[in-house]
A = this chain, B = another copy of it.
């Protein structure tokens, strides 16, 4: 028999599947709005891999609207501006592109042609380690909201006024009034919505993989020179590119080298494979001396990470009935805008505002009325969010194609290759300068419109 979560005020209960960053932030936003919520996480705890990530200034303001405690958690977990400029004492962030392929003849080997720079503003990007942020973030939630070791097995939907049953691998079932899947790129909730035989249920290989590793600041300076070693730079070239930025209080430099791969990734259950520094050096053999030096400082044994996303088969809808998807579960992108989680934060804010509206407007109504309201809220969420989120998935592929234009290899075609930066700027601005207030207004109006029909 299934345990039902009791809504504290007799209204409705939300079951979130997946306690990643987006699931936990969303739960915090719902708790703050007095909504009964439980988060079910398959893992035993929150020790994720220590990958670096960054949040745009806009997404930090979205966190604030979800719950100011989220921003406090971000900052207290050690977030710092990630791509700070070379001007002393300034907190502005810049994105910078340099020519990683062509040697400038007769120049210092650390010298590369500077191609473009975009000013992302004060605290434009705040970087942190995912594991550290998540560990601090879960403490924002009251005791007992998150339940670990709950691997979702099956979802049972009945009528509009009925509860939805979530069945977990440990045999336990729970009943909730609505379900939000924030269970990441390989979302189980997504598979429930589209079916196990549909390509829309699964991410696909983007035909790019990445080598990742840390190098010491000392080595970085010898390869890149002082200025580049201390800042974020993207080195572009034919069919590959490399990004690096300082971490650990400027004592180390994080390096990610992305390589085009015409082959299929045969085993999609394992997205990481062992590789060696030599593999990476072969992939960048024809690049400039400066770039080759960076790759040469990578550890001898490194991993090759497959980049999967939902570009090939995007979700035809983000919600059906009283079930919806958010974050990577709805739209997983390759990491080339450095802002995948930011789009998920926008999702979470939109859902929190909409469910807050349901909670306030439906108080005391029947389960059937609540059901109708949740469907209206989720359909509105789909209408408000899907276009932007799927644009972001496309755009993440597109900017990678621009960074990796074959034209970078041919000086006669540099003029063509360099025309890409206006588009890259436009795409970056669309992400950074997102008008979340308009989104929220559209969401509330859309919900009210649907409820009045």
Contacts and interface: CB of A to CB of B under 8 A. Distances in A.
A391 B315 contact: no
Contacts of A391: 419, 422-423
A260 to B, nearest CB: 19
A9 B416 CA distance: 42
A415 interface: yes
Given A199-B412, A412-B199, A415-B200, A422 B388 contact: yes
A412 B204 CA distance: 14
A228 B430 CA distance: 33
A426 B419 contact: no
Which of A199, A311, A388, A426 counts the most B-chain CB atoms under 10 A from its CB? A426
A394 interface: yes
Contact of A314 (B314, B395, B415): B415
A412 B313 contact: yes
A312 B200 contact: no
A364 B311 CA distance: 63
A11 interface: no
Contacts of A412: 199-200, 313
Interface string A364-406: 0000000000000000000000011011011100000000000
A166 B442 CA distance: 60
Interface string A199-210: 110000000000
- Provide the main secondary structure of the chain A interface: helix
A426 to B, nearest CB: 7
A437 to B, nearest CB: 19
A316 interface: yes
A199 B391 CA distance: 35
A314 B390 contact: no
A413 interface: yes
A429 to B, nearest CB: 10
Contacts of A416: 311-314
A375 B229 CA distance: 39
Contacts of A199: 412
B422 A316 contact: no
Given A199-B412, A412-B199, A387 B312 contact: no
A361 B420 CA distance: 36
A66 to B, nearest CB: 25
Contacts of A415: 200, 313-316
A300 B423 CA distance: 42
B419 A314 contact: yes
Contacts of A315: 415
A347 B421 CA distance: 20
A31 to B, nearest CB: 33
A204 to B, nearest CB: 10
A327 to B, nearest CB: 18
9 contacts: A200-B412, A312-B416, A313-B413, A387-B419, A387-B421, A387-B422, A391-B419, A391-B423, A395-B423
